[in-house]
Amino acid sequence: MKSIIVYYSRTGRTAKAARSWAHRIGASRLEIIPMAWRGTLKEVLNYTVSTLTRRPMEIDLYKVDFEKYDRIVLMVPVICGMMSAPMRTFIRQEAGNLHNVEYVIIHKGIKMRHKSLISWLDKTLEEKHLAASSIWAVWGKDYRPARIDGESILK
């Protein structure tokens, strides 16, 4: 089975999890990168405002044929209870091209919004997910997904 892990990482936690899982399951990786001001205070402010207001955020161009993959794993970072703006922008842009999708929600807090986030993802992609899991991301810990539903390839 050919898989790809798509992720956005501002602090490095999601990137660490994506690298680790891609290596374990032999998957390709695609990092979503914001276009402007990378690594500056302006980028952090733009990112925070875009995330909290659900505004789209410009992301770098990428060239991937998602039809080649049997499974697409979306590693979705959640900040202050909201999906990160770059990931939300990517999902909206690629909605018609993403099939056989699995969600991995990366968070540092309570799981209370996962149900509504999963529902939004399914509605936006117009397709029911294959699996959903949650990773509580804390530095220095092994990132082990907790299954929400479905059969995850991340075991």
Give the start-end residues of each E strand in the chain. Answer: 3-7, 28-31, 71-79, 82-83, 101-107, 131-136, 146-150
Handedness of CA 135, 88, 4, 35 (dihedral sign): negative
Tell me the pTM. Answer: 0.83
The total number of residues written for the chain in this structure: 155
CATH topology of domain 3-150: Rossmann fold (3.40.50)
CA torsion through residues 63, 35, 97, 66, sign: positive
Point out which residues pair with 93 in neighbouring strands: none
| Interval 89-133: pLDDT, tens | 999 999 999 999 999 888 876 655 688 889 999 999 999 999 888
Write the pLDDT tens digit of every residue in 71-88.
999 999 887 778 888 899
Averaged pLDDT score across all residues of the chain = 84
pLDDT at res. 58: 78
Q: Confirm if 75 and 104 have CB atoms less than 8 A apart.
A: yes
Per-residue model confidence as pLDDT tens digits over 4-35: 999 998 888 889 889 988 999 999 999 998 87
C-alpha to C-alpha distances, 95 to 47, 92, 121, 153, nearest whole angstrom: 21, 5, 9, 22
